[in-house]
Structure 1
Amino acid sequence: MDRISALRNVEETLAALEEGETDLASAEERVCAILRTFATEYDGGLAAWRASGDPAADGLVVLAESEREARERVEDLVGPDVRVSVSRIE
């Protein structure tokens, strides 16, 4: 999914919420699904990477071009003193 498609889907979800066609919980669930799809089916040369190890980083997902860049992005989010490994989400 590309960025434009993701934004269009989020916009449609917000419009449905504003028009009373859906409730907030359903809209939140839909937006989360859109974001998850965007991150794991990204068309822009980046890949999704899931962190594991230090509890502060465990389960985080970042987009990056390489394993090294993914670790750096996780460290930027949770701090430099974390022990973390990353694995690519296929």
Structure 2
Amino acid sequence: MDRISALRNVEEALRDFESGESDLAATERRVVTVLRTYATDFEGEAGLAPYRADGENRANGLVVVAESAEDARTRVYDLLDETPGSLDFAVERL
């Protein structure tokens, strides 16, 4: 899914919510599904790729876009405002 398709799908979900055809929970599910699809189909430039964190902590399940696994780990720590090495998780390229 490209960026334009993702934006259109999110806009459609918001329109349905605004018109009363969808409740908040359903709208959230639709938007999350669009974002997950976009992230897993992401074809970045200059070596960018999506990576998912897997661990027994709050990093588990986070998906970030990075140039390498090491950069992905750094981005996860930054997003969670954690000191590098303070969480135990692995990253996997999607």
TM-score normalized with structure 1 length: 0.83
Partner of 2:9: 9
Matches of 1:77 and 1:54 in 2, distance apart? 17
**SS, match of residue 87 in structure 1:** strand
**SS, match of residue 10 in structure 1:** helix
Structure 1 residues 10-89: aligned runs within 5 Å: 10-45=10-45, 46-53=48-55, 55-78=57-80, 79-80=82-83, 81-89=86-94
Provide runs of 4+ in structure 1 moved above 4 Å.
none
Q: CA deviation at 1:86?
A: 0.7
Q: Give yes or no for contact 1:2–1:44 (8 Å, CA) kept in 2.
A: no
1:54–1:25 Cα change, 3 Å: closer
After TM superposition, the structure 1 stretch with the greater mean CA deviation from structure 2, 29-38 or 80-89, is 80-89
- State the aligned residue count: 89
TM-score normalized with structure 2 length: 0.80
Q: CA deviation at 1:49?
A: 1.0
**Structure 1 residues not aligned, in runs of 5+:** none
1:76–1:54 Cα change, 3 Å: farther
Q: Give yes or no for contact 1:49–1:86 (8 Å, CA) kept in 2.
A: yes
Q: CA deviation at 1:56?
A: 2.9
The RMSD of aligned alpha carbons is 1.7
**Structure 2 residues not aligned, in runs of 5+:** none
Between the aligned residues of both structures, percent identity stands at 55
**SS, match of residue 74 in structure 2:** helix
